[in-house]
Amino acid sequence: MRPASFRISLVGLFIILAVFAGVLPYVVKYESKAFMVLTTLAMAGISLGLLAGGVRFDLRFDPVSLAYGLLGAGVVGASAMLLRITSSLSVTGFVLVYSAVAEELAFRFGVLRFAERIMSVWFAVVFQAGLFMLYHWMVYPGYSLTAAYPLIAGLVFGWIDVYANDLTPSLLAHVMVNVLVAISLG
């Protein structure tokens, strides 16, 4: 069973604030439909996460969370190479970075934390990863041929979230992976 409190460290807060301050103005101006979908997703996740309770903000720098995030990004990146992921996504890099934050708030902070209150932690990880995969099928049609990739990413991000009991590592990993995707697409 996970501890009752759930952490968001200084690095995680910085990532969220930096993305909102740096990327959000572009997304709002040029990608209004993506903005609406992703913001709705993030708000639903924040609501579920707060309903699950026990959130605490930790203003210390945690190198262990940073290491988990780098490990998660490496695992997800390696799985993309092994599966020979090629993307037909037609979204901008700004949307990819904003989506990483919105998806982490929705699936790891919201769905995972809420689901583990009513089912075992590991079943909750699989459940949120399955929802993460379905979401990618519906929102990003380029993923339909590579269904395993969002499922693997959801499992990895969920596992590091549970292991660290902190949103920061999965947030960092997801942002890093999406930045690399944006670079490779652009």
> Taking phi first (over 0 means left), then psi (-120 to 50 degrees means alpha), and beta for anything else, what does residue 2 get?
beta
Q: What is the pLDDT of residue 58?
A: 75
Q: What is the pLDDT of residue 108?
A: 93
Q: Whole domain around residue 81: which residue ranges?
A: 6-185
Q: What is the pLDDT of residue 34?
A: 77
Q: What is the pLDDT of residue 4?
A: 55
**What's the whole-model pTM score?**
0.83
Q: What is the pLDDT of residue 122?
A: 92
Cα dihedral: 43, 63, 74, 134 (round 10): -20
In a domain, 29, yes or no: yes
Q: What is the pLDDT of residue 159?
A: 93
Average pLDDT, the chain: 79
In a domain, 117, yes or no: yes
In a domain, 174, yes or no: yes
If one compares 1 and 25, the residue with the highest pLDDT of the two is 25
If one compares 118 and 66, the residue with the highest pLDDT of the two is 118
Count of domains observed in the chain: 1
CB neighbour class for 85 (10 Å; exposed up to 12, middle 13-18, buried from 19): middle
Residue 176, pLDDT > 60, answer yes
Residue 88, pLDDT > 50, answer no
In a domain, 108, yes or no: yes
In a domain, 38, yes or no: yes
Q: What is the pLDDT of residue 80?
A: 63
In a domain, 103, yes or no: yes
Q: What is the pLDDT of residue 39?
A: 82
In a domain, 35, yes or no: yes
- Taking only the tens place, the pLDDT of each residue in 28-67 is 777 777 778 888 888 888 888 888 887 777 777 777 777 7
Q: Is 177 helix (H, G, I), strand (E, B) or coil?
A: helix
